[in-house]
Structure 1
Amino acid sequence: MSTITAADKPWLQQYPAGVPAEIDPSRYRSLVALMEESFGKYAERAAYSFLGQEWTYREVDEASRVLAGYLQSLGLQRGDRVAVMMPNVPQYPIAVAAILRAGYVLVNVNPLYTARELEHQLKDSGAKAIFIIENFAHTLQQCLRATPVQHVVLCAMGDVLGAKGWIVNLVVRHIKKLVPPFHLPGAVRFNDALTRGRRAPYRPVEVGPDDVAVLQYTGGTTGVSKGAVLLHRNLIANVLQSEAWNEPVMKKIPPGQQPTAVCALPLYHIFAFTVNMMLSMRTGGKTILIPNPRDLPAVLKELSRHTFHSFPAVNTLFNALLNHPQFDTVNWRNLKVSLGGGMAVQAAVAKRWLERTGCPICEGYGLSETSPSASCNPVTNTEFTGTIGVPLPSTEMKCVDDEGNEVPQGTPGEIAIRGPQVMAGYWQRPDETAKVMTADGWFRTGDIGVMDERGYFKIVDRKKDMILVSGFNVYPNEVEDVVAQCEGVLECAAVGIPDEHSGEAVKLVVVKKDPALTEAHIREFCEARLTGYKRPKVIEFRTELPKTPVGKILRRELRDNKPTTS
């Protein structure tokens, strides 16, 4: 791949005033150094809010230090992997800080995994210990013997809620019945681990920028799930890039108000891990932990209690909130940044969000392999661009052909990224790493995009999702963006299906907002807005779209599964 020169970076002209072209990733030796600076600097500030209770930076510091001592007492060696399988509860950031401070590697695990998926990740990572919330302990029980895990720390929703904790646990276990029976002999309860840790001295470990911090497993959409190796310096770089990018609007927070972020995306996902937890840690912000973003009444009730300034989310969550009757019980007017990522933000959703909150959705782009943020729209923009914005400070992006040659401006090509946030490779998979990483540090994303003359990039789709109709490329995102603007449509997704005449045809799956919506109405709408070969040949109505826990629509399931009609 050719090298980009300064003259090839038109995006720098789009940076808001005060945003630097470069950040200094060597500012901290490790995430541990970053966290410990904040523990001292912001000791009396609230770090986390959960179910009406707050924890200060000092309390997180003390609990994680004690927990690090407990982990070291187990005989784990520096660099050993420790898994965390929990929703957004306070034990999550405490465990993360403890794992990193003790010199170990964090393995983020989706708590909704099946036993098969969990077994793969624990075996692949070689995790020797796991923190797991009891709601999913039955899953671990099914596969534990087949994994290298030797130590299990069991957490419960009410562990750190003091006097009301037992009430919370009673409701979760016996009224809502969210904890299936399990048997994990030898497992240690979280609070017991803290007690034992107070008797086990914590020994600080010197952690450096090139040490592995996190194994972040990809969704496995192109095959078996792989662990992206994120070094301390990768994550530090992305935290500093995100901070610099948000600064033009975050500096407008009134004096005396603590920067506060809503964490509705799961912390095991790299988006929330970096842009919520670690960025808030760096800036001394408070994080509102939302354990279940699908419980919209609970989310809105919680948010109605707070003044908040930052809200990272995915298009499906923005859309669901906008369509909830209790949306206006929340004061959205303090919002400075609404960050959209994980999937394409639709123009219709962005338009309504700006109208209802006064804060534009600022769409960005990234992957597990880039810690995750690679590009973003300027936070000072008020118009929705329909793009993924421009590369962040210290980041280069370009579009390349199958041979790795840069394509002309405006021509679709695979997006390649180079910057300090790009992973070291895939965990113990040099063959897979070689497929996506070049000798000079470029990461090939598998996403097809175009760059315009201003340096803005637009995703036109993933290679595998592209639909080929009689030799013409159809990008599902374009079809979805058009149909989402049709009155009566709540959500939609487009996929390719086999067709004997054209090779493939477009199938559109729609969730109705208005029961009166008809197939004929959608066809008429598409006819006016899409050229012939892009129009859906098959239209199917469903009650819901299959999604990952983060809210990404699972297109492959729409190709494979039988419909559930509404």
Structure 2
Amino acid sequence: MKAVGPDVASLSDLLLQLAQRFGERPAFGHMGGVIGFAELDRRARRFAAWVQHETDLLPGDRILLQLPNVMQYMVVLFGARRAGLVVVNANPMLSSEETAGLLRDSGARAWVTLAPVAPEQLSVAPTSQVNYLITTELGDLHSVARRQWLNLLVRLKRLKAGRGLRGGRVGSDIIQVSLPDVLQIGAGRVWRPVVSNTGPALLQYTGGTTGPAKGAMLSEKALLSNLAQLGVVLQLYTEPGRERLLQPLPLYHIYSFTLTLLMFSVGAHVELIPDPRRTRALIRCWDRLEPTVLAGINPLLTHLCQQPEFQRLDFSSLKLTISGGMALTYSVARLWRDVTGGEICEGYGLTECSPVVSVNRPGQVRVGTVGKPLAGTEVRILDVDRQPLPTGESGNIWVRGPQLMEGYWHQRKETEEVLQQGWLDTGDIGQLDVDGYLKIIDRRKEIINVSGFKVYPSELESIIASHPDVLECAVVGLPDSDGNEQIRLYVVPANSSLSIRQVRDYCRERLTAYKVPRTVEFCRALPRTPIGKVCRRQLRELALRGRAVH
């Protein structure tokens, strides 16, 4: 069974087919509760019916979905799409200013978020086009007893943190309603399928690691194409209805969003982890679920392998460990194999590609590469004049395939710069080997110019991270007095006895002279994006302001 076949024209179709095939078998789990495929289908219909009968929202209107990993996320996602709304994914940890920016840029008329909503968050609503605020509490889709317990637990934690129980107030021109009320009202209405489903389905804002975030317009055709491409690979290693995905990565990020939909599309039970920082809870969930598939990212996989409780787990059920979002280092790949006995299948993608471009296949993994391009995806390595480069040479990565975005939301110039004649300029530097494996060198904007020589931060980070007393590290370029750049290295030590001199000696022994960092700074942690990727831009900004990283 392929993940998505030609008879699936929309996410609504996908959900309907899965509900008919798998019935009340668990589709998503969260903190001890589950929702089945058929129940998800019913609730998504109710949400769509509420939109159609109780609001003046029209197909094409945007809805900001600002939820953590909870089952409600999937109800709103499918329900919104069934009503023809464009879903705008948003991190629930955004500041009020960042939320305001997304609301204004997207023009969202509806906003879904956790209750109680902080007054400073609600204060941004009047400055936007929001007409409907839909709130939900953590336990809303659980059984009555468990729902009351979970929601009480959240309230007690808020009191302990000194945040209070009451949220802010919205203006009289904004209709506020709870998700349980939406679903109850929608149960008495009839959902009418949207006739035309063209245009963007998802407005996915880029991570902004090298510049301001942009809204990539992803159509259902692009999303479903990527699911179908991945399904060609997945069907060789999984059994429909028998897989269990442990998902600790946030659904609002395109990597985990697509991987979750992929496993869902083959009838898997997806267990949502609301906070991967709660390591013991994650490990207990693993022990209970016995996952066959894990979604991970370099720092999370490292952290898990360092936990004695994790090392004692039974990994016999684990078939696939998938890594994306940032480069997988050799040291982490080795550590994971030593602890679990399995390999990590690293892939490559970007928001503009819905997101997956290439992936390592199980049993054919080449560490240091991101595998071969997916079926129907073309990858070219071009020079600065956009001429093809010979196999093995490094250059700009261009991609063509059915999963490409339609463009950037309200940014025509930026769209024309990256989309040309059906090809996408990814902004990444890479190379293809003779067997078609793709290797990512670095982001073009993050290359460091040292006296005319190009230095790739990822190359240095991979080598330096191999030091046994280096937990993780990051490299950035800073301007120097002669108009070039100097290299600064940030290190999170794994051992308090590690010294800057030892790090510099290690670098000198393994790196060409111009690649040796001029300055080294130790810190307790590195700044990260919501998915966990190191944010070099923030490191550079802190350095330019003369501030240390704590």
Sort the Cα spacing of 1:505 and 1:168 in 2 relative to 1 into closer, same or farther, 3 A.
Answer: same
User: What is the root-mean-square deviation of aligned Cα atoms in Å?
Assistant: 2.1
Amino acid at match of 2:532: G
Amino acid at match of 1:204: P
- Asked if the contact 1:35/1:281 (under 8 Å) is kept, the reply is no
Cα drift, residue 86 of structure 1: 0.4
Specify the alignment match of 1:11 in structure 2. Answer: none
Sort the Cα spacing of 1:321 and 1:124 in 2 relative to 1 into closer, same or farther, 3 A.
Answer: same
Identical columns (%): 37
Specify the alignment match of 2:376 in structure 1. Answer: 394
- Asked if the contact 1:543/1:564 (under 8 Å) is kept, the reply is no
Specify the alignment match of 1:350 in structure 2. Answer: 333
Specify the alignment match of 1:53 in structure 2. Answer: 33
Higher relative contact order (CA 8 A, sep 6+): 1
- Asked if the contact 2:333/2:367 (under 8 Å) is kept, the reply is no
* Secondary structure at the counterpart of residue 237 of structure 2: helix
Cα drift, residue 477 of structure 1: 0.4
1:546 equivalenced with 2:527 (yes/no):
yes
Amino acid at match of 1:63: R
1:493 equivalenced with 2:474 (yes/no):
yes
Specify the alignment match of 2:504 in structure 1. Answer: 523
Specify the alignment match of 1:405 in structure 2. Answer: 387
Specify the alignment match of 1:225 in structure 2. Answer: 213
Q: Deviations over 1:440-462 (max 9, x none)?
A: x1000111111122111111111
1:269 equivalenced with 2:253 (yes/no):
yes
- TM alignment of 1:82-481, pairs within 5 A: 82-134=63-115, 137-162=118-143, 163-177=145-159, 181-185=166-170, 186-208=175-197, 210-251=198-239, 258-276=242-260, 278-382=261-365, 384-439=366-421, 441-481=422-462
* Secondary structure at the counterpart of residue 283 of structure 1: coil
* Secondary structure at the counterpart of residue 368 of structure 2: coil
Query: For residues 100 and 541 of structure 2, what CA distance do their matches in structure 1 show?
Result: 25
Sort the Cα spacing of 1:461 and 1:331 in 2 relative to 1 into closer, same or farther, 3 A.
Answer: same
| More moved, 84-93 vs 35-44 | 35-44
Specify the alignment match of 1:75 in structure 2. Answer: 56
Query: For residues 72 and 329 of structure 1, what CA distance do their matches in structure 2 show?
Result: 51
Which ranges in structure 2 are unaligned for 5 or more consecutive residues?
Answer: none
Query: For residues 403 and 203 of structure 1, what CA distance do their matches in structure 2 show?
Result: 51
Query: For residues 444 and 295 of structure 1, what CA distance do their matches in structure 2 show?
Result: 38
* Secondary structure at the counterpart of residue 510 of structure 1: strand
- Asked if the contact 1:469/1:502 (under 8 Å) is kept, the reply is no
Specify the alignment match of 1:9 in structure 2. Answer: none
Report how many residues are paired.
538
Query: For residues 231 and 434 of structure 2, what CA distance do their matches in structure 1 show?
Result: 26
Sort the Cα spacing of 1:542 and 1:24 in 2 relative to 1 into closer, same or farther, 3 A.
Answer: closer
2:23 pairs with 37, 43, 58, which one? 43
| More moved, 304-313 vs 320-329 | 320-329
- Asked if the contact 1:249/1:380 (under 8 Å) is kept, the reply is no
Query: For residues 273 and 145 of structure 1, what CA distance do their matches in structure 2 show?
Result: 30
Which ranges in structure 1 are unaligned for 5 or more consecutive residues?
Answer: 1-17
Q: Deviations over 1:122-142 (max 9, x none)?
A: 122221111111265445312
1:555 equivalenced with 2:544 (yes/no):
no
Q: Segments of 4+ in structure 1 off by > 6 A?
A: none
**TM-score, normalised on structure 1?**
0.91
Query: For residues 540 and 96 of structure 2, what CA distance do their matches in structure 1 show?
Result: 25
- Asked if the contact 1:85/1:111 (under 8 Å) is kept, the reply is yes
Query: For residues 348 and 549 of structure 2, what CA distance do their matches in structure 1 show?
Result: 33
- Asked if the contact 2:244/2:271 (under 8 Å) is kept, the reply is yes
Sort the Cα spacing of 1:353 and 1:563 in 2 relative to 1 into closer, same or farther, 3 A.
Answer: farther
- Asked if the contact 1:25/1:233 (under 8 Å) is kept, the reply is no
Query: For residues 397 and 434 of structure 2, what CA distance do their matches in structure 1 show?
Result: 16
Q: Deviations over 1:152-194 (max 9, x none)?
A: 1111111122212122112212235476653234421111111
